[in-house]
Amino acid sequence: MKTEFSLAQLADPDIAEADKILRACVHCGFCTATCPTYVLLGDELDSPRGRIYLIKEMLEKDRPPTREVVKHIDRCLSCLACMTTCPSGVNYMHLVDQARVRIERDYKRPLIERLLRAALALVLPNPALFRASMMLARLGRPLVALLPAPRQAMASPTLLRRIRAMLALSPGRLPAPGPAGGSVFPAIGEKRGRVALLQGCAQQVLAPRINQAAINLLTRHGIEVVLVRDEQCCGALTHHLGRDDDALARARANVTVWLAEAERDGLDAILVTTSGCGTVIKDYGFMLREDPGFAAGAAKVSALAKDITEYLSGVDLQPPQRHGDIVVAYHAACSLQHGQKITQAPKELLSKNGFVVKDVPESHLCCGSAGTYNILQPDIADKLRDRKVANIAMVKPDMIAAGNIGCMVQIAGGTSVPVVHTIELLDWATGGPKPGLKAPGLT
């Protein structure tokens, strides 16, 4: 794609990066076929190619985003299916990330929208606030039936519709908190390794059992696990809201504490059980590339970051204890399959450990969770969830496995089939307890 940035514009490293990305796009349109919003809405401006044009125009002309541009960028899930499909290697992720920052900086949203986004950016990355808000939401759940039901996905969602989505996503009860930062779980038997495990923010409130399963499995296989003190939310939630000052501050804080831990007692990896977080931590090196104080450290952290299934693929797991022919529908989270290109490891691990693994039809399509998307764009998100659940039902599973808490909550909202994390099944298969709950905190 031809671009026309001035030399002065290209002196800005972000614009230089955008220019490189835009020039790689040959506007072939292959990406439109796998874009969930284009598949649902059929509008070119809700496709990757259409959004790329909008972003190009906004950056080249260096003008504030219009309402129309914001509408179509806001509808993007950042699912990155387009990056998997693109034959030219267009890095849509870095382009749309930049567009979101520009929108946040230069576009004045209506007051209610600004307040809602500020509240999400404040509450979600903070486990204590998130826990308190979930307890409040629990009281409000009976109101769901009184609030406006889903509308056409093309319509802009109202505040009441978003409140309804938030209440509907809140759990029926909250589990007790998991172990605190600073905890160390020694290896059982001969020590074979040492890893940090990301504590996460929403996940540690909704489903501490996921990291508990990871700790159980890892220590049982000789790997010491540390929950690093003073670790923060990885920044993914605010990064996707275009609030990069917040996201970068969190990234710097994490780089500092993780590298200190690695220098003090050694770390083979920083393991992540929420693939949405893993994708962003693996991008810290890029996000902080222009920060002389952090660029090298961030690159080191990105290299250490691994999805739990990626790491376990290199570990000799104990022989599985058979649990019968349990059919597991494997839901490929977008952040894992498109963001991190991890497609086989979770399925191979489940198969090797005695589960009958089924691929879900249209597995490239997002379930609609996408960070805060199911709150901010509930109508599109509901449609994607319903489509995902219908596709899952086609393989008649006994259980659904996924590697991302957001997907688990989203899918559990539309099905009675138990939804578990892949690590819970692997822990169970190799001697841990049977996963007990249907969905994170939803009983």
- Answer yes or no: are the C-beta atoms of 196 and 111 closer than 8 Å: no
**What's the closest the beta carbon of residue 436 comes to ligand SF4, in angstroms?**
34
By CB under 6 A, residue 82 contacts ligand SF4: yes
Name the DSSP class of 338: I
**What is the Cα–Cα distance from 89 to 103, expressed in whole angstroms?**
25
Q: How far is the CB of 364 from ligand SF4 (least distance, A)?
A: 9
Question: What's the closest the beta carbon of residue 368 comes to ligand SF4, in angstroms?
Answer: 10
**DSSP-H helix ranges across 124-207:** 127-140, 159-169, 202-206
Nearer to ligand SF4, 65 or 440 (CB): 65
Bridge partners, 421 (sequence order): 402
d(CA 292, CA 288): 8
The token pair that represents 230 in the structure block: 């003073």
CB of 199 to ligand SF4, least distance (A): 27
Among 5, 53, 92, 294, binds ligand SF4 (CB under 6 A): 92
**DSSP designation for 65:** P
Report if residue 272 touches ligand SF4, rule: CB under 6 A.
Answer: no
Using the rule CB under 6 A, which residue among 31, 99, 287, 350 binds ligand SF4?
Answer: 31
Q: How far is the CB of 338 from ligand SF4 (least distance, A)?
A: 8
Number of residues in contact with ligand SF4 under rule CB under 6 A = 26
The number of angstroms, rounded, from the C-alpha of 179 to the middle of its chain's C-alpha atoms is: 22
Q: Tell me: does residue 88 bind ligand SF4 (CB under 6 A).
A: yes
b/e code 39-49 from CB counts within 10 Å (16+ = b): bbbeeebbbbb
**Can you tell me whether residue 15 is helix, strand or coil?**
helix
Q: Please, is 328 exposed, middle or buried when counting C-beta atoms within 10 Å of its C-beta (0-12, 13-18, 19+)?
A: buried
Instruction: Answer yes or no whether residue 80 interacts with ligand SF4 by CB under 6 A.
Output: yes
User: Binding segment for ligand SF4 among 34-42, 104-112, 229-237, 387-395 (CB under 6 A)?
Assistant: 34-42
Q: Is residue 107 part of the contact set for ligand SF4 (CB under 6 A)?
A: no
Helices (H), 221-352: 236-240, 244-265, 275-281, 284-287, 295-304, 308-312, 334, 345-352
Task: Tell me the Cα Rg of the chain.
Answer: 21
Q: Does 30 engage in binding with ligand SF4 (CB under 6 A)? A: yes
Only segment of 44-52, 172-180, 284-292, 348-356 that touches ligand SF4 (CB under 6 A): 44-52
Half-sphere exposure of 375 (CA within 13 A, CB side): 18
49 binds ligand SF4 (CB under 6 A): yes
Check binding of 79 to ligand SF4 (CB under 6 A): yes
Residue at token pair 């969905």: 439
26 forms part of the interface with ligand SF4 (CB under 6 A): yes
| Distance, CA of 18 to CA of 99 (rounded, Å) | 10
Under 8 Å CB-to-CB from 224, ≥6 apart: which residues?
184, 185, 186, 187, 191, 193, 194, 195
Stated as kind and residue range, the H or E segment containing 434 is none
280 binding ligand SF4? (CB under 6 A)? no
Interface segment toward ligand SF4; rule CB under 6 A; list 32-40, 140-148, 313-321, 401-409 = 32-40
195, 345, 428, 128: CA torsion to nearest 10 = 50
Least distance CB 103 / ligand SF4 (angstroms): 14
Q: Which stretch binds ligand SF4 (CB under 6 A): 48-56, 265-273, 297-305, 427-435?
A: 48-56
Q: Is 442 in the site for ligand SF4 (CB under 6 A)?
A: no
Query: Measured from the CB of residue 30, what is the shortest distance to ligand SF4 in angstroms?
Result: 4
User: Which region among 81-89, 122-130, 186-194, 279-287 touches ligand SF4 (by CB under 6 A)?
Assistant: 81-89
Cβ-based nearer residue to ligand SF4, 36 or 242: 36
We find the least distance from the C-beta atom of residue 76 to ligand SF4, in angstroms, to be 3
**Binding ligand SF4 by CB under 6 A: which of 10, 16, 29, 322?**
29
Question: 76 vs 124, which CB is nearer to ligand SF4?
Answer: 76
Span between the terminal Cα atoms of the chain, in Å:
51
Among 11, 13, 16, 27, binds ligand SF4 (CB under 6 A): 27
Spell out the residues 6+ positions from residue 51 whose beta carbon is closer than 8 angstroms to its own: 45, 72, 73, 76, 92, 96, 99
Nearest distance, CB of residue 379 and ligand SF4, angstroms? 15
Is 28 a binding residue for ligand SF4 by CB under 6 A? The answer is: yes
Stretch that binds ligand SF4, among 86-94, 116-124, 135-143, 213-221 (CB under 6 A): 86-94
Contact residues for ligand SF4 (CB under 6 A)? 25-31, 35-37, 48-49, 51-52, 76-82, 85-86, 88, 90, 92
